[in-house]
Structure 1
Amino acid sequence: MTDAASLVPINLLPFVLTALVIEITPGPNMTWLAVISGLEGRRAGFAAVAGIALGLSIIGLAGALGAAALFQTSSALYETLRWGGVAFLFYLAAEGWFSAGRPQEMQTGSYCGYFLRGLLTNLLNPKALLFYIAVLPSFVAPQQPVMHQTLMLTAAYVAVATIIHSLIALTAARLEPVLNDPRRERLARRTLSAVLALVAIWFALTTAQSGR
């Protein structure tokens, strides 16, 4: 029992509370999930949630193996990642805006497509990488194995994020019947696409500040 307990990071609970606060703060994932789930339904939202979870896991594993330090020391790599993420958010916003009013079969994507978009959005998310660089290490206790703690805290963060994202998808999906009317759907799609574009601008400004 003692050995098993010693494997649990000492700072796991405060870390989980910190991750919870971060995840309920509006950001690209939250906005995009609301768009997808509200307009395309619960299953599309969950496909996106799965892609986001995989993306966060890959970045967390890369951070644990030291790749995050490379981005921290190379401004060129960081800027490439940052602007790639901003461009992709603008692409999603533009696609949502210009697809409004088209026939429904032209608007609905595959679940695999939503999964891949969720994955790509987070692989191009420098804020997620910065979380693993700046926030997670502060919860690592020197008296316990560093790699083991890092992997466990990463898993805890992905779990918290996935729960929050799933709740967002479920809540937004309840709006789908309301949006079945073509006029309401068009207005909602363009409104949410405009919000996503604003999030992309906010994303560019805040990540530039964080990267200094």
Structure 2
Amino acid sequence: MPHALWPVDPSVVLPFLVGVALVELTPGPNMGWLALVSMGQGRLAGFAAVAGVTLGLTVWMVLAAVGLTSVLLAFPALYQAVRWAGVLFLLWLAWEAWAGAGKVAEDVGRDPEKLRGLFLRGLMGNLLNPKAAVFYVALLPTFIRPDHASPMAQALTLGSLHLIVSVVIHGAIVLGAAAAGAVVMRRLRGLWAGRAMAAGIAAVAVWMAWATRG
């Protein structure tokens, strides 16, 4: 079958899917934050956050395809600025959760404005996560072959497959965490529920600072 019919080498698809699935299943800022949101505010809130995270990944994927993420990695000061902005953003979310402890309504997931806020938080949190840029710059080139479509077309195709995998895994996290949260948050009501979420988000911020160092 002519290569022109395949934008990417079919033999790399399965290894790529396995690789990105393992990456997505590795505990990280996205997984931790999505689980906390879903536990505390339910499935709709979790899916709103997933939509924001996915759009953020899409932006990084497109930037990688056109070669702009290499600029971030070429300038350590720029990388560190994005990195610390992401850490501070998560710490701000933790403070917001702490300050609002005991005031969170039980039907947060039904409030369109709050859903929009979670979407934007997911988007900003991922745009300020330099690990996404490192992922695309380090992983995508190893699966691109010269005898198929252009490097950009291959990067966009493989990146789209990664987005599908991330949505499936993040969706499963939301469903699982929301189910667990329905039990846990009934026991940790009001003040303690909010403070537990704040502590969890702060822990995610610390993890991100450690994982993205250097």
TM-score when normalising by structure 1: 0.89
TM-superposition CA deviations, 1:112-158 (whole Å, max 9, x none): 11111111111111000100111221121222231111001110111
Contact 2:90–2:205 at 8 Å: present in 1 too?
yes
Look up the match of 2:64. 63
Report what 1:202 is aligned to: 207
Residue 90 of structure 1 and its aligned partner are, at CA, apart by 0.8
8 Å CA contact 2:57, 2:163 repeated in 1: yes
Map Cα deviations across residues 23-46 of structure 1 (whole Å, 9 max, x no partner). 011111111111111111111111
Tell me what 1:192 maps to: 197
Return the match for 2:140 from 125, 136, 139.
136
Provide closer, same or farther for how the CA distance between residues 183 and 173 of structure 1 changes in structure 2, counting only shifts above 3 A.
Answer: closer
Check the 8 A contact 2:32/2:201 in 1, yes or no: yes
Q: 1:186, CA displacement in angstroms?
A: 3.6
**Residue type of the partner of 1:21?**
L
Q: How does 1:105-144 map to 2 (within 5 A)?
A: 110-144=114-148
Assess if the C-alpha contact under 8 Å between 1:9 and 1:152 holds in 2. Answer: no
With 194-203 and 38-47 compared, the bigger mean Cα shift is at: 194-203
Q: CA deviation at 1:106?
A: 11
Which amino acid in structure 1 is aligned with residue 49 of structure 2? A
Alpha-carbon spacing, 1:189–1:9, altered in 2? closer, same or farther (3 Å)? farther
1:176/1:148 Cα in 2 relative to 1: closer, same or farther (>3 Å)? Answer: same
Q: How far apart, CA to CA, are the structure 1 residues paired with 2:104 and 2:209?
A: 33
Q: What letter is aligned with 1:136?
A: L
Rounded to whole Å, the distance in 2 between the matches of 1:103 and 1:133 is: 40
8 Å CA contact 1:93–1:194 kept in 2: the answer is: yes
TM-aligned CA distance change 1:75 to 1:180, over 3 Å? closer
In 2 relative to 1, CA 5–103 (structure 1 residues): closer, same or farther, beyond 3 Å?
A: closer
Q: What amino acid is aligned across from residue 210 of structure 2 in structure 1?
A: L
Aligned to 2:153: 148
Paired letter, 1:117: R
Greater mean deviation of Cα atoms: 101-110 or 187-196: 101-110
Q: Is there any run of 5+ residues in structure 1 with no aligned partner, and where?
A: none
* Residue type at the aligned position of 2:117: G
The whole-number CA distance in structure 2 between the counterparts of 1:77 and 1:148 is: 27
Runs of 4+ in 1 over 4 A off after TM superposition: 1-5, 105-109
User: What is the SS of the residue equivalent to 1:112?
Assistant: helix
Q: Residues of 2 paired with 1:180 and 1:120: CA distance?
A: 26
Matched residues in 1 for 2:87 and 2:182: separation? 31
Structure 2 CA distance for aligned equivalents of residues 184 and 102 of structure 1: 10
Give the 5 Å matches for 1:67-78: 67-78=68-79
For the structure 1 residues 183 and 38, does the alpha-carbon distance in structure 2 shift closer, same or farther, using more than 3 Å as the test? closer
2:8 is aligned to: 8
Distance 1:65 1:149 in 2: 11
CA contact (8 A) 2:52 2:118 kept: yes
- The 5 Å alignment of 1:18-97 reads 18-97=19-98
Write the letter of the residue equivalent to 2:152.
M
Aligned partners of 1:137 and 1:83: how far apart in 2? 27
1:71 partner SS: helix
Gaps of at least 5 residues in structure 2 are none
Cα deviation, residue 5, structure 1: 4.6
